[in-house]
Amino acid sequence: MLEQYDGYVIDLDGTVYRGKQMIEGANTALHGLKDQGKRLVFLSNRGNISRRMCHEKLTGMGLDIRPEEILLTSTVTGMYLRERHPGEAVWILGEQGLAEELAAHGVPLAPKPEEAAWLVITLHETLTYAELNEAFRAVRHGAGIIATNGDRMFPGDAGDSIDVAGMIGAIAYSTGKEPDVVIGKPSRLMAEAALAVLGLPPERCLVVGDSLPSDIGLGKMAGMGTALVLTGSSTREDAAASEWKPDYVLESIQVLLSL
C-alpha cells in the first residue's frame, strides 16, 4: 500500500484524535509516513476553528506539521470566497474561529446583516436567538447562504450533539431558502483543495478517515484510494452495508505503516 500512494488525505476527528485525546499510535504513524517522504494533508469538516487554532492543537499533541498541511472547511470557505467572490462582504453565524480564518483569506465582514452578500454558517455552540435573527435578516435582505459543512451531529462531551445542520435548518425553515453552497466533505471543493496541497494525481493519494459518506465518499468520487479507520463513527458492519466500500478497513491509523 505504501508503494502505491505518495499522498495521504487524513481526517482529524475520530481518525487522528478524539476530543482532546490523540488516538494511540497516530503520532508514530504520521511521522513514519513523513520519514518515508510521503506528503500529508489533514482534511477536516470543522468550520468553527481556524487553521492557526487547529495547528496549535495538533502541535500541542506532539505532531510536527506545517499550517499549510491543514485544510478545514473554514479554510476552504475562505479560499472559495476569495477566488469566486472577491471583495464580497459576509455575515457569520458561527464561532470566532471561522471569522479568524476568513480574515486570514482577506474576506471582508459586512458591518451589518442587511449589507452582506453571503451568510456563512458553521457550528455555533453558544448561539443566541439574537444571532439567529441577524443571520435571518441577512438572508431576508438577499444574502446567499454558504454552509461550511452539512454534518448533522458530532460526539460531544454530553453525548451526540447538534452540528451545523441545526444552524442551517433554523435559517432554511424560517427564510424558505436552502444553502447555495455546502463546502464540506464529500464535496469536490474539498477534494480539489487537498489535491492542490499534495500536488499529486488522485490515484497516487489515499484518503484515511472514519466517516463513510464524508471521507470514503470523497475519496471514491475523486478517484483516490480509501481507507476506513474504526476509531470514530463507523464500524466494519457499517462499511459492509454502505454504498461507499473502502479499499481498506483499518482498526486504527496506527496500523497504516504496517500494511
- Interface residues toward its own copies, by CB under 8 A: 124-129, 132-133, 136-137, 140, 152-153, 156, 158-163, 165-176
Strand ranges of the sheet holding 7-10, from the earlier edge strand across to the other edge: 70-72, 39-44, 7-10, 205-209, 225-229, 248-250
The CA distance from 100 to 242, in Å, is: 37
- Positive or negative, the CA dihedral 223, 229, 230, 232 is negative
CB of 163 to its own copies, least distance (A): 7
The answer for residues whose C-beta is within 8 angstroms of residue 110's C-beta and 6 or more apart is 89, 90, 91, 116, 117, 138
H/E element, 42: strand 39-44
The CA distance from 209 to 192, in Å, is: 17
Instruction: List C-alpha distances in Å: 145 to 84, 87, 135, 169.
Output: 14, 16, 10, 12
CB of 171 to its own copies, least distance (A): 7
Instruction: Look up residue 166 and give its three cell numbers.
Output: 441545526
In this structure, are residues 17 and 59 in contact, taking their beta carbons and an 8 Å threshold?
no
